[in-house]
Every structure is written in structure tokens, then in C-alpha cells.
């Protein structure tokens, strides 16, 4: 685990260019769209669809994908509860930097624990949009695009969210996506409209 937080004798260096100036340059407001849900619920599909939708509208975004960050930034972390918490903390800090830079950061992660997601929200109280992919476990298992549920059911993966590790759904998310039959481009447009009305 990281020993971050033990640093001493450090000072915050202010930038000569502020957040509002960066947002004015990009003609958009920085924020974090946090997409959470079970494996196979469509988080990455929605993230990619939303990123494309934003691009067509002239908005700059960047996706922080749960699997991708574990190839680099978080490759030293496993899937124990404390590692999952540290994983989300790091992603939250990076997402905060993207938002401060004026980008629309799309974080797509299972992020199973409510307290970890709420901690990320607390970093960005006015620029955090939580999207819950509320897909039933049975349907996620049926889809199983990565074959992970099959491995978990066979006992080859331990601590798999939804099987032998809990998922704590959001209590007050900004967007709830229960109708999984709806086309993802339509969903991305809805999320974009929420971004536009909340942050304009």
C-alpha cells in the first residue's frame, strides 16, 4: 500500500493560469462523470459513447477506464478491500486534476464501495456527476463480455464483485440507467444534457 499522506515540508505551488482561464480557453467547464456498476453492466460502452458524443460537440474529454489504469498507475494494487479503496482514491485524484485542467473526465470503474465514491465526490462537490449502471446481476452474468463471471463461479477468481464481494449501489446519484435496452448513444446524449444543464 502507498505511504502517501506521510509527506512533510511540502507547499502548494499556485499556477499563474487559473481554472477559469483554462475553462474559457476550452469553452467548457471541467467536471468528472463517474460511471459505476457491476462488471458487464456497460460502463465502458457508455464511457466511449459519451466521449464520442462530446467530441462531436467540440468538447474535450478523457476516459479513465478501470482496467486501463491498472496497467500503469495502479498496477501495484490487487483486489483486496484496502487496495480497491486506494485504487479509487488515486483515480479520484487524477480525475480531479483533469477537471481542474478544464477537461471532462469520464471515470469508468466498478468502484464497488459507496464510501470510496463519496470520497471522490467530496473532492469535486460542484462538478461530480455520478452515473449508476443499474443492470441486474443475472443480465451482467449472461453478457459476461470478459468471461469473468464464469471464472468467478468456478472459484478461479476470488473476491469478485457481485459474486463473493459486495457492490454498494449509489443512494443519490445524478443519473440512473436502469433501462439497459436503450441504445448507448441515446444514453450518452442524456448524460451530456445533464452535464450541460448542471454546469453551464
**Which residue of the set 44, 108, 111, 188 is catalytic?**
111
End-to-end Cα distance, the chain = 39
How far, in Å, CA of 170 to CA of 35, rounded? 11
How far, in Å, CA of 108 to CA of 36, rounded? 6
Q: If we measure between CA atoms, which residue out of 103, 111, 91 comes closest to residue 31?
A: 103
In the residue annotation, 108 being an active-site residue is answered as no
Contact 90, 100 (CB under 8 A): no
Q: Which residues are catalytic?
A: 111
Amino acid at each position: 500500500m502507498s505511504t502517501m499522506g506521510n509527506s512533510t515540508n511540502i507547499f502548494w505551488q499556485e499556477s499563474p493560469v487559473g481554472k477559469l482561464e483554462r475553462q474559457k480557453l476550452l469553452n467548457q467547464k471541467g467536471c468528472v462523470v463517474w460511471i459505476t456498476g457491476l462488471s458487464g453492466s456497460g460502463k465502458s460502452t457508455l464511457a466511449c459513447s459519451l466521449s464520442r458524443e462530446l467530441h462531436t460537440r467540440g468538447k474535450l474529454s478523457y476516459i479513465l477506464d478501470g482496467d486501463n489504469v491498472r496497467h500503469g498507475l495502479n498496477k501495484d494494487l490487487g483486489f483486496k478491500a484496502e487496495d480497491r479503496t486506494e485504487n479509487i482514491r488515486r483515480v479520484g485524484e487524477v480525475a480531479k486534476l483533469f477537471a481542474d485542467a478544464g477537461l471532462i473526465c469520464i471515470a469508468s470503474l466498478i468502484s464497488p464501495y459507496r464510501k470510496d465514491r463519496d470520497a471522490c465526490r467530496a473532492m469535486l462537490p460542484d462538478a461530480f456527476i455520478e452515473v449508476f449502471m443499474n443492470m441486474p446481476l443475472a443480465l451482467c452474468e449472461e453478457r459476461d463480455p470478459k468471461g469473468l463471471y464464469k471464472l468467478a463461479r468456478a472459484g478461479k477468481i476470488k473476491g469478485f464483485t457481485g459474486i463473493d464481494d459486495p457492490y454498494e449501489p449509489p443512494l443519490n446519484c445524478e443519473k440512473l440507467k436502469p433501462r439497459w435496452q436503450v441504445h448507448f448513444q441515446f444514453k450518452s446524449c442524456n448524460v451530456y444534457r445533464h452535464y450541460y444543464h448542471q454546469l453551464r
